[in-house]
Structure 1
């Protein structure tokens, strides 16, 4: 089944941040939309203003995987059943809204520790804020040459 951009984003929000509260879900949605509208670098080439291209870009979101380490991985967008809050946040992000403290964050991850590394990935992203269990990173100038 081909999902609409809204459906894809709602499913990704639920899968990646469903337990992170409204701001955690808004933060994930903001990262996706920041990638869609990135003015340069890898996401500008891949995204081409497309939510679908960003979400389906290979190896970007764990929630697109159906197996991890050779084992079935059931927490993926294909098994999500978004609720109204997930659609509302997807609509909010698609309309151009972003969390004010997130900056232009293009990456997030759960470090499974109390602290966030200063850089992610490598040196192209610098730590900006932690929301729930996720650390968020803004691009450096080095990112735009990727």
Structure 2
């Protein structure tokens, strides 16, 4: 059975940022929806909405059942979202954003106290760290990707 967009996003929010509190989960949801609505660059060309963004190869480990040939137990199929995850998914789908990441297209967990200044390569610049995730806005170079 295929997941609805709300279910898919709620499971992704839980999987990607479930331990990051409301602000961290909303920030991740903001980035995902930014990718689904950006009209230029790589994401603007490859997507026709939320599903295309989430299932774009190599973007979200939680959407992969295997990584490096090994089973990935932390995937959306193993997630059991609670009401907060659905609320945040609906909040994001309605067009709401966390202001500090309102234009961010990337986030990642560096598993260290430091966020790198550019990500990926030089098409994104660091804006803020929320919980364990570093968030990045696009540079002008992103439009050429």
- TM (normalized to structure 2)? 0.97
Secondary structure of 1:39 counterpart: coil
Q: Which runs of 5+ in 1 are unaligned?
A: none
Trace 1:1-146 onto structure 2 (pairs within 5 A).
1-48=1-48, 50-146=49-145
Computed over aligned residues only, the root mean square deviation of the Cα atoms, in angstroms, reads 0.8
Secondary structure of 1:135 counterpart: strand
* CA distance in structure 1 between the partners assigned to 2:35 and 2:101 by the alignment: 13
Q: Indicate if the aligned counterparts of 2:39 and 2:45 stay in contact, CA closer than 8 A.
A: no
**Deviations 1:52-87 (CA, angstroms, capped at 9, x unpaired):** 111111110010111223321110011111110000
Q: Indicate if the aligned counterparts of 2:108 and 2:135 stay in contact, CA closer than 8 A.
A: yes
- Runs of 4+ in structure 1 off by over 3 angstroms are none
The aligned length equals: 145
Q: Which runs of 5+ in 2 are unaligned?
A: none
